[in-house]
Structure 1
């Protein structure tokens, strides 16, 4: 009988990264959970041998069915929805799962002593605390800012070529802020796979109850733009935005300038390195993903 790994968010960036790596490893058979099993992306997963399962994070019975018979679970929660909310989604998953690896981020309310607040980050941190208190064997994966945001057209950070052939981008970042940067598509699946494999080879005590940061580097934000510039040989012109007129987003960036994310963490994470995870580099992301996005 197959050893099942339930993967929530199967057709998204994060869940997709996990499923690709699990298929490559072959230890666990991925059960991909998505709201719409008839979408093109869900059908593509099915053709690759993934058991595509319809699930709703806002419905506890749906989550119970999604994790039934699974040996391990990769879980995430979805902000901005109209359902029960991200905290309750996370509690549903924790209550339903036997093993859980939860994607998360640092609570800016906690690290700033309540000065700044950002619901999606603070909610994830609350779910983490609930998971830790549950007694369920777990590892928590923390992420930084997704490098993929710089090639998503709907994001203001998205890079483009201007009329002079130079690279242009906008940034709400406060100059000088330390930015933990994560290459999700490449590295998240590697990290989850390493944790699942450690568990499957009898090393649960080594990883149980521990947090790991999936991030390439933590650098002043200007260094990321410099990495793009030097790797691609094109000048990067940044328009620094003082506000995006949304308090939650402004708080997130202002907090990052005053209270750096993961201030006590070394990146890349030594714990992941010890598990054999080799994360990508900023230069590699620029050389491959950014270059392709710009059509260079």
Structure 2
């Protein structure tokens, strides 16, 4: 019998959201409802062709979100700073407040938020302009030395906590698919090279196989959130596939491709926000070294994450061999 448990997926045509929709479809416990700013886009039409309900919803417009989320049991959501999108967006804080307020208004029972820790807070203000982590220049609000230390994504988490909604946050590492999505792994005359700005060869990086591990973490939480003994609500779950140095990553790729793979530390990428992000990640060893891999709390709930070895075999080999 078809499920009547609807999960709204914001950003359903993007990398994370589309992976969550796919996992929900394959599992069958829940029905995905794709929430998108443009229900007539090519990606939206492909979802409709698979029988997915696609509903217009804009994180900058609470009224549209109330309509889009009505009748849903749970929400998977993320926010993006304006500099990382192709269109001008309100601040991440505004986006998050709109999504949370709409979810509370329509009676959503559980909220999964894909988030990141604040580098500005962790570093005591040393790294204050990393848009990916702190929405540093989103919504036309540049950070200054006097800006509060808790910034956009963490402000959304605080708003979630104050809302009394049951929720959990996922904190992600560097996306493994950036090897090809951001052209991080480049062909050379003798093999391949990974070039990352500001990263020490001895520092660790946290890597997340987003397409596999984010939907696995999400569906695991969805299947367990209503069990009080699981004590899920309000927790932050780092979702990391592997923590390793870039030379070690190069070694894994070399073994997979049977080719030479080197690592180069760049002085600069030419993009200050990226340089600052990688410098911070290098200094703090990817940020999540206190959490074992795989995350034992999610594993105890039944999550079965893909490994870096599986990522190499299923994703890297056919793209670069």
- Length-normalised TM-score, structure 1: 0.92
Aligned structure 1 segments of 4 or more residues deviating by more than 6 angstroms: none
Higher relative contact order (CA 8 A, sep 6+): 1
1:109 aligns with 2:134: no
Aligned to 1:90: 96
Aligned to 1:144: 173
258, 267, 271: which one aligns with 1:246: 271
- Length-normalised TM-score, structure 2: 0.85
Contact (CA 8 Å) 1:79, 1:86: kept in 2 or not? Answer: yes
Aligned to 2:6: 4
User: Helix, strand or coil for the counterpart of 1:207?
Assistant: coil
Aligned to 1:270: 296
> Any unmatched runs of 5+ in structure 2?
135-151
Contact (CA 8 Å) 1:215, 1:279: kept in 2 or not? Answer: no
**Alignment of structure 1 residues 162-177 onto 2, 5 Å:** 162-164=188-190, 166-172=191-197, 173-177=199-203
23, 30, 33: which one aligns with 2:32: 30
Contact (CA 8 Å) 1:224, 1:282: kept in 2 or not? Answer: no
Seen in structure 2, the aligned counterparts of structure 1 residues 170 and 20 have a Cα distance that, compared at 3 Å, is: same
CA-CA distance at 1:96 after TM superposition:
1.4
Matches of 1:219 and 1:130, distance apart in 2? 33
1:198 aligns with 2:224: yes
Aligned to 2:48: 46
Number of residues paired by the alignment? Answer: 290
Matches of 2:167 and 2:225, distance apart in 1? 10
> Any unmatched runs of 5+ in structure 1?
none
Contact (CA 8 Å) 1:213, 1:267: kept in 2 or not? Answer: no
Deviation per CA, 1:56-76: give whole Å up to 9, x if none.
111111111121111100011
Contact (CA 8 Å) 2:246, 2:263: kept in 1 or not? Answer: no
